[in-house]
């Protein structure tokens, strides 16, 4: 890193967003106004699973507290493995344990799994089609600590890996229900994880919602726009839909918690309904993620609606406070609503 690039990276500055200026102070929580929250849904769901199945193990690379695996460690200390800051060892050990008939859940940050441990995941886990569940915190733009911790390209990296199922849950409901679902899946799984206090979103909008691996579900009906969203952007799409309804704009939201395999049938069916703008929304770079996967699906099926993508830019992102960054990069509720409005 040059002295000039270091100065750019570490210089304290103000970021102008619309008509207001906000500082770049670091915070680690997501804006989820109006929603109830659940503390550490992944950790508690894993403990519940482990009480029913003695094969379940929890492994982490020095990040138990920051992936909510500390809940499991406290409840099941004899089945918890602290591997230290060694992601390659973490993935290799998980592969070995899976070979011996155990059910390992390996946790770290998404950037460390995607960038540091990719070859070990590919060779030790995916090529052998071993049932290792890789559950990773800080997906996309869910931390203000800059490119070293922002996993903005993890979906693009992992989508090309054979045998690997990829899940991007929206909320505490998705997370709690995905744990037994991925445990029952015979093969490796990569999951993005929202940690800490996680909002309860989906059942507020659709009381009978249930997570199904490999299935997309329509959460909200609408005649003017269809937003195909994944991860926390489903929450943002639903909130934007409520805001746009006040302007007489009727927005449907299709939640896609499984990125691979993609539910092509449901996506094609919903996008094929005439007269709607189709928008994808993801907490990931627009390169190689949900948007491109949906575009390919629609084009190869001969379905050609007006189409737009909401996602993060093809760039290394700034450090700062999450509300500031989400406004800056267009994934806040207000920015999502404004962009949809501008396209109509």
Q: What is the pLDDT of residue 23?
A: 34
Residue 32 has what pLDDT? 76
Peptide bond preceding 261 in cis form (omega within 30 of 0): yes
pLDDT in tens, 72-89: 999 999 999 999 999 999
Q: For the segment 212-225, what is each residue's pLDDT rounded down to a tens digit?
A: 999 999 999 999 99
User: Is residue 159 domain-shared with residue 247, that is, in the same domain?
Assistant: no
pTM > 0.85: yes or no: yes
Q: How many CA atoms lie within 13 A of 32 on its CB side?
A: 24
CA distances, 235 to each of 31, 82, 196 (Å): 10, 33, 17
**Mean pLDDT to the nearest integer, 149-157:** 98
Residues 174 and 44 in one domain: yes
- Residue closest to 214 by CA, chosen among 256, 250, 253, 184: 256
Asked whether residue 312 carries a pLDDT value surpassing 70, the answer given is yes
Residue 150 is assigned to a structural domain of this protein: yes
Split into its structural domains, the chain has a count of 2
Whether residues 88 and 58 share a domain: the answer is yes
Confidence bin at 4 (pLDDT 50/70/90): low
Q: Residues 86, 194: one domain?
A: yes
Residues 6+ apart with CB under 8 A from 106: 59, 60, 90, 91, 94, 132, 133, 134, 135
Which residues make Cβ contacts (< 8 Å) with residue 44, sequence separation at least 6?
Answer: 71, 176
Query: Does one domain contain both 195 and 157?
Result: yes
pLDDT digits (tens, 9 = 90+) for 16-40: 444 333 333 333 456 677 899 999 9
Cα(209)–Cα(162) distance, integer angstroms: 29
What's 289's domain CATH number?
A: 3.40.50.920
- The verdict on 97 and 127 lying in the same domain is yes
pLDDT tens for 226-271 read: 999 999 999 999 999 999 999 999 999 999 999 999 999 999 999 9
Specify whether the CB–CB gap between 153 and 114 falls below 8 A: yes
* pLDDT band per the 50, 70, 90 thresholds, residue 297: very high
Calpha distance 195→110 (Å, rounded): 12
Are 174 and 211 in contact by the 8 Å Cβ rule? The answer is: yes
Q: Would you say residue 2 lies in a domain?
A: no
Average pLDDT of the chain? 93
Q: Is the pLDDT of residue 8 over 60?
A: no
pLDDT at 317 over 50: yes
Question: 55 and 84: one domain?
Answer: yes
In a domain, 251, yes or no: yes
Does an H or E element contain 192, and which?
strand 189-193
Regarding whether 268 and 172 lie in a shared domain, the answer is: no
Query: What is the per-residue pLDDT across 176-223, written as a single tens digit (0 to 9) for each?
Result: 999 999 999 999 999 999 999 999 999 999 999 999 999 999 999 999
Say yes or no: 180 and 308 in one domain: no
Same domain, 172 and 244: no
Q: How much is the pLDDT for 191?
A: 98
Please report, for the domain that includes residue 139, its CATH number.
3.40.50.970
**283 inside domain:** yes
Per-residue confidence at 302, pLDDT binned at 50, 70, 90?
A: very high
CB 185 within 8 A of CB 238: no
Centroid of chain to Cα 273: 27
Residues 53 and 114 in one domain: yes
One domain, residues 149 and 241: no
Q: Looking at residue 322, what is its pLDDT?
A: 94
Q: Is the model's pLDDT at 59 over the cut of 80?
A: yes
Q: Which domain holds residue 268?
A: 213-343
pLDDT of residue 11: 53
User: Sheet harboring 225-229: ordered strands across?
Assistant: 217-220, 251-255, 225-229, 277-285, 307-312
Distances (CA, A) of 110 to 10, 30, 194: 23, 17, 11
Final residue belonging to a domain, choices 172, 199, 226: 199
Indicate whether 174 belongs to any domain.
yes
- Helical spans, DSSP H, in the chain: 3-10, 41-52, 70-75, 87-99, 110-111, 118-120, 154-159, 172-183, 202-205, 232-245, 264-271, 290-300, 322-328, 333-343
> How many Cα neighbours within 13 Å face the side chain of 3?
0
Residue 14 in any domain: the answer is no
9 pLDDT higher than 90: no
List of residues 6+ apart from 45 with CB closer than 8 A: 175, 176, 177, 179, 180
The tokens describing 292, both together, are 């491109």
Distance CA 214, CA 207 (A): 20
């Amino acid at each position: 890193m040059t002295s000039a690039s270091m100065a750019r990276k570490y210089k304290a500055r103000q970021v102008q967003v619309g008509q207001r200026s906000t500082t770049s102070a670091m915070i680690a929580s997501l804006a989820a106004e109006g929603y109830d929250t659940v503390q550490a849904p992944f950790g508690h769901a894993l403990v519940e699973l482990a009480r029913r199945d003695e094969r379940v193990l929890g492994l982490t690379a020095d990040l138990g507290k920051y992936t909510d695996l500390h809940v499991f460690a406290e409840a099941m200390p004899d089945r918890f493995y602290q591997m230290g800051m060694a992601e390659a060892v973490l993935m290799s050990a998980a592969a070995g344990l899976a070979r011996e008939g155990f059910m390992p859940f390996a946790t770290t940050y998404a950037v460390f799994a995607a960038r540091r441990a990719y070859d070990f995941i590919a060779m030790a886990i995916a090529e052998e089609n071993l049932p290792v569940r890789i559950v990773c915190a800080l997906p996309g733009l869910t931390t203000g600590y800059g490119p070293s911790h922002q996993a903005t390209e993890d979906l693009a990296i992992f989508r090309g890996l054979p045998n690997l199922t990829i899940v991007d849950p929206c909320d505490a409901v998705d997370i709690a229900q995905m744990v037994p679902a991925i445990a029952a899946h015979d093969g490796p799984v990569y999951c993005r994880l929202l940690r800490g206090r996680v909002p309860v979103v989906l059942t507020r909008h659709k009381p009978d919602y249930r997570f199904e691996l490999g299935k997309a579900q329509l959460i909200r009906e609408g005649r003017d726009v269809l937003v195909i969203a994944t991860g926390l952007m489903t929450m943002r799409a639903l909130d934007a839909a409520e805001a746009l309804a006040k302007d007489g704009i009727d927005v449907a939201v299709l939640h896609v918690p499984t990125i691979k395999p993609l539910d092509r049938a449901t996506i094609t069916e919903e996008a094929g309904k005439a007269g709607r703008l189709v928008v994808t929304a993801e907490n990931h770079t627009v390169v190689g993620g949900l948007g491109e996967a949906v575009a390919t699906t629609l084009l190869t099926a001969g379905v050609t609606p007006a189409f737009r993508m909401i996602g993060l830019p093809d760039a290394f992102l700034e450090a700062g406070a999450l509300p500031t960054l989400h406004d800056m990069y267009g994934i806040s509720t207000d920015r999502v609503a404004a962009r949809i409005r501008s396209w109509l």
